[in-house]
Structure 1
Amino acid sequence: MALSELPLLRWLRESRHSRKLILFIVFVALLLDNMLLTVVVPIIPSYLYSIRHEKNATEIQTVKPGLTSSPTGSFQNIFSYYDNSTVVTGNATGGPQLGQLYKTTTQLMVTNTSTTAPDCPKEDKELLNENVQVGLLFASKATVQLLTNPFVGLLTNRIGYPIPMFTGFCIMFISTIMFAFSSTYALLLIARSLQGIGSSCSSVAGMGMLASVYTDDQERGNAMGIALGGLAMGVLVGPTFGSVLYEFVGKTAPFLVLAALVLLDGAIQIFVLQPSRVQPESQKGTPITTLLRDPYILIAAGSICFANMAIAMLEPALPIWMMETMCSHKWQLGVAFLPASVSYLIGTNIFGILAHKMGRWLCSLLGMLIVGVSILCIPSAKTIYGLIAPNFGVGFAIGMVDSSMMPIMGYLVDLRHVSVYGSVYAIADVAFCMGYAIGPSAGGAIAKTIGFPWLMTIIGIINILFAPLCFFLRSPPAKEEKMAILMDHNCPVKTKMYTQNNIQSYPIGEEEESESD
């Protein structure tokens, strides 16, 4: 028995150092985080609307003893605060006056009921006001994550990546359970905010871990493209998964399924990453304040922010706009995001590899232009089918931007700063979170004030105007002191050799071999 276990134990020890297994862990962490991020998109607007109307229906439902009885008949006048209708019950044989009253009241009931059909809440002021409430709820996660990221970046430099990754799993599990059983707006807000802390730990530590184990620029880009595929899968599955289970099973079902998957991810992390061990970086990283003063890092961060702000504004506003203008059912509110999710998955996988060949700056520039044009086309849709093409374009283009800019962040640190990645990916995540914090909160207020079409016009133009700045990332200069370090033969990072027009990269030693030949 012991002999049969030896090969297994040996395989397990070796697999702990496998780069592919680490990539798988980051993939799963991003998948589950973004499933939880997006599974609430079709659920929350409809759920808040339904619990508010259920409260109104049960809060005041009074029975007024009404019309006096007569020798030939009796009536009872019942007023319903749910649909503003008046129903008269009793015997209608008391003569023309009472018969006329019954007829008039019945007509009033039919008229009022027809204008408040629950499947088509057009011109409902409460629904319009929900833009702000839902926007703030969605933005709370990104806002908390935004505030947490710098601290997580510093923490990873001191204690390594495994402990923050596992901490993120624990917090996300608690948040998922809270979502399942919360029945008030306040508890949902707390659950969403908690998710922001867990997401900060998972994303910053995960991306930093990938950058540290994939030191080659091209391999790093491929690995991050695969990891972002996990993010894309979460975005792809989340809205549809949430809306279908919410429609046919109930609100708690999607969150309980997610909680089970999160537990499985935690078990894998405990086994592979050994999060009880502190594994600090071997060298001190560049302070985050210094990185924030680097204009090239700011341009890359801005691209991530504004591209993702487009979809962040869509998430709370589009379902409400669809309920208003298309009389959409619950399941359609999530399915509307399916084209964007599918295309994001395609975009991250294609351009994780292709962006290195065509130039990541160009890939990001084109992506932002496509985001802008696609967003501008969304308000022209009259049915759910009209949303397919523009949503597909939005998702595909954001995939182009994310799969290009994430590797560039690590590349800029290698080129211009110390090759420790916690802080720079904290900045990348801050940019991502700013999009998801400003987008829903500002987007909800704008949609309520000047309308959904103007909201789409504003964010579309912002993306188009920012896109040309990506040109500056075409050949960013290396700092002199960093160049001297990179020229050291003992440095494991690729040396970057510059000409006036382009960048050539090759491993240390290739230049000397070619010269000796």
Structure 2
Amino acid sequence: MARTLLQVRSSKAFLVFAVCFAISTIVPFAPTALQEKAGLPLEDVPRWTSILLTLYGAANTVVSPGCGYITDRVQSRQRPFLMGLLTLAAATALLCVGKHISLWIIGRLLQGASAAVVSTVGIAMLVDNFDGEAALGQTLGYVAMATIVGTTAGPLLGGVLYEHGGYYAPFGLAFGLLVLDFIFRLAMVDSRAIVEHSNSGHPSTSDEASWTDKSIIDKKQTVVESRVSEPLHDNCRSRGSTLILLRSPRMLTALLVYLIISTSMTSFDSVLPLFVHDTFAWAQTAQGLIFISLMAPQVMSPLYGYTIDRWPRLRRYQAAVALLSAVPILVCFRYVSQNTLQDKVLLCALLTLLGTCFAILEPPIMVEMSCIVEELQSQHPGIFGKGGATAFAYGLSNCAFAVGAMAGPFLGGWVWDAYGWATMGWVLALPLGASSLLVLSFFR
């Protein structure tokens, strides 16, 4: 029975579920609570809402690379994963009891830091287990889907629960999810730690070590051993994984495209609610629900990831076609201008098509980053040291996405306010179209 339980805990299906659940854990944030709980004047609420959202992104940006670097150099990825959970719990508690704006500031900073840890370490754990297999793209597609679910459901459910259940209702949901998250993270078996323990030859008193038989270790060792056992070249010791990865045109292209996707997607956060209010006279609930059209296509990300698993040579073409397809879609937003049923349907259709392009884009970019690290390690064994650079690479990608998420609302709001809705469409379209050429030139 114990061995069967261990096999379930160490299975790839359970690992994917636990990581995706952690990434999608809902973080409540109801801006209207700033007035009721923190005592801010009504006229200051919009300004502080923007500040708190920016602080979240800033913490995510700063913590992600460092978290990835450290995670590559510790024996177990599960420990920083648990630390991310504890940080999120502390942040949620601060927001729950926060009667002063300083507690909200600290809480949002901790939330951003925990998001950086969870996404960076979680993706690295998945790559450790799936790298070199035919399911990596599909697995990372689930991660992309989970990211959007958490990002979208957090504010949406937080606002609904706050409106109908009071201030503490969204936090009750959050703490319940945190308990489940804690159980799942403890139940996971870290293949990286198992392989290192197996290679060390020392006995262990832990339950996992005593239950782990040779068949389970062998399954994990083929994937992880190349990272944790490679010799470190002396001439590479001083270079560091930062400069090595950032000197790669492929990595720079992947990071730039990820930043552009994030900027384009989040540009609608500040503009879309105001646009539908001014054009269609939609109330607050409808302003929030319209984002479902943009985010719903992400549920198909695992399918798009499967296509690049099935036909790896099409990876760059899939990304380039999605980038080019987004250009006419964004330009066509100019035709949504009247308060008519036709324009409302057209807006929802365009948002769905744009969301589909973004969903198609994410898996090939994430897989490309893993391939870059693996190819550098195979060409120059030990170039990244004993721990490799998988977590650091995804820390950089998370940093790029966070920068785009901070820049997007400001860019979209400024262009819309200064030049109008039609201009915003082609301003967002130009970088996407140009980046398709970079993808065709540098991706493999």
Q: What TM-score, normalized by structure 2, do the two folds share?
A: 0.77
Distance apart, 1:225 and its partner CA: 1.6
1:209 aligns with 2:148: no
- Cα offsets for 1:326-364 (capped at 9, x unmatched): 433222122111112211212x12201113427111111
Q: 1:424 to 1:333 in 2, by over 3 A?
A: same
What amino acid is aligned across from residue 309 of structure 1 in structure 2?
Answer: T
Give, in whole Å, the separation in 2 of the partners of 1:148 and 1:282: 27
Q: 1:76-91 alignment to 2 at 5 Å?
A: none
Partner of 2:229: 282
Instruction: Note if contact 1:139-1:440 (Cα within 8 Å) is conserved in structure 2.
Output: no
1:317 maps to what in 2? 271
User: Quick one: structure 1 residues 173 and 455, their matched pair in 2 at CA, closer, same or farther if it must change by over 3 Å?
Assistant: farther
| CA distance in structure 2 between the aligned counterparts of 1:412 and 1:448, rounded to whole angstroms | 40
Q: Does residue 1:352 correspond to 2:330, yes or no?
A: no
- Alignment CA distance shift 1:414-1:55 (3 Å): closer
Are the counterparts in 1 of residues 68 and 391 from structure 2 also a CA contact under 8 Å? yes
- Flag the 1:203–1:463 CA change in 2: closer, same or farther, 3 A: same
Larger RCO of the pair (alpha carbons < 8 Å, separation 6+): 2
Correspondence for 1:472 among 418, 441, 444:
441
Displacement of 1:447: 4.4
Aligned runs of 1:365-514 on 2, under 5 Å? 365-378=320-333, 380=336, 382=338, 385-417=345-377, 420-451=389-420, 453-475=422-444
Q: Partners in 1 of 2:106 and 2:268 — Cα distance?
A: 22
Pair 1:162 & 2:54 matched: no
Structure 1 position 148, deviation (Å): 0.9
Residue correspondence of structure 1 range 180-199 to structure 2 within 5 A: 180-182=96-98, 187-199=103-115
Q: Please state how far the C-alpha of 1:176 moved relative to its aligned partner.
A: 2.7
Separation in structure 1 between the aligned mates of residue 143 and residue 101 of structure 2, nearest angstrom: 33
What CA distance in whole angstroms lies between the structure 2 residues aligned with 1:474 and 1:450?
35
* Aligned length in residues: 388
Do the aligned residues in 1 keep the contact of 2:260 with 2:432 (CA within 8 Å)?
A: yes
| Amino acid in the other structure paired with 2:307 | L
- Residue 171 of structure 2 corresponds to 255
Q: Distance in 2 between matches of 1:432 and 1:447?
A: 22
TM-align CA RMSD: 3.2
Write the letter of the residue equivalent to 1:282: S
| 8 Å Cα contact 1:135/1:316 also seen in 2 | no
In the TM superposition, what is the alpha-carbon distance from 1:137 to its structure 2 partner?
A: 3.0
Contact in 1 for aligned 2:39/2:100 (Cα 8 Å): no
Which blocks of at least 5 consecutive residues in structure 2 are unaligned? 197-227, 378-383
Is residue 2:132 matched to residue 1:231? Answer: no
Are the counterparts in 1 of residues 39 and 99 from structure 2 also a CA contact under 8 Å?
no
Match of 1:137 in 2: 52
Deviation at residue 22 of structure 1 after TM alignment:
1.5
Call closer, same or farther: CA 1:303–1:177 in 2, change over 3 Å: same
Matching residue of 1:479: none
What residue identity is the alignment partner of 2:326? Answer: V
Answering whether residue 181 of structure 2 is matched by residue 265 of structure 1, we say yes
For 2:194 and 2:119, how far apart are their aligned partners in 1?
19
Q: Post-superposition shift, 1:449? A: 4.6
Residue 170 of structure 1 deviates from its aligned partner by: 1.2
Displacement, 1:165?
0.9
* 1:300 paired to 2:254: yes
Q: Which has the higher helix share?
A: 2
| 8 Å CA contact 1:243, 1:335 repeated in 2 | no
**Aligned position for 2:199:** none
The change in CA–CA distance for 1:375 and 1:47 in structure 2 (over 3 A counts) is: farther
Consecutive unaligned residues in structure 1, runs of 5 or more: 1-6, 57-125, 476-517
CA–CA distance in structure 1, aligned partners of residues 182 and 16 of structure 2:
15
Asked if 1 retains the 8 angstrom alpha-carbon contact of 2:60 and 2:113, the reply is yes
Alignment match, 1:151? 66
Identity of counterpart residues, as a percentage?
20
Q: Given the superposition, is the C-alpha separation of residues 52 and 154 from structure 1 closer, same or farther in structure 2, using an over 3 Å criterion?
A: closer
- Superposed displacement of residue 291, structure 1: 0.2
How far apart are the structure 1 equivalents of 2:97 and 2:321? 43
Change in 2 beyond 3 A, CA 1:302/1:226: same
Whole-angstrom distance in 1 between the partners of 2:357 and 2:374? 26
Q: How far apart are the structure 2 equivalents of 1:24 and 1:307?
A: 25
Whose Rg is larger?
1
Q: Match for residue 201 of structure 2?
A: none
Tell me which of 271, 274, 281 is aligned to 1:327: 281
| Counterpart Cα distance in 2 of 1:52 and 1:317 | 26
Are the structure 2 counterparts of residues 310 and 17 from structure 1 closer, same or farther at C-alpha, using a change threshold of 3 Å?
same
Alpha carbons 1:344, 1:396 under 8 Å: kept: yes
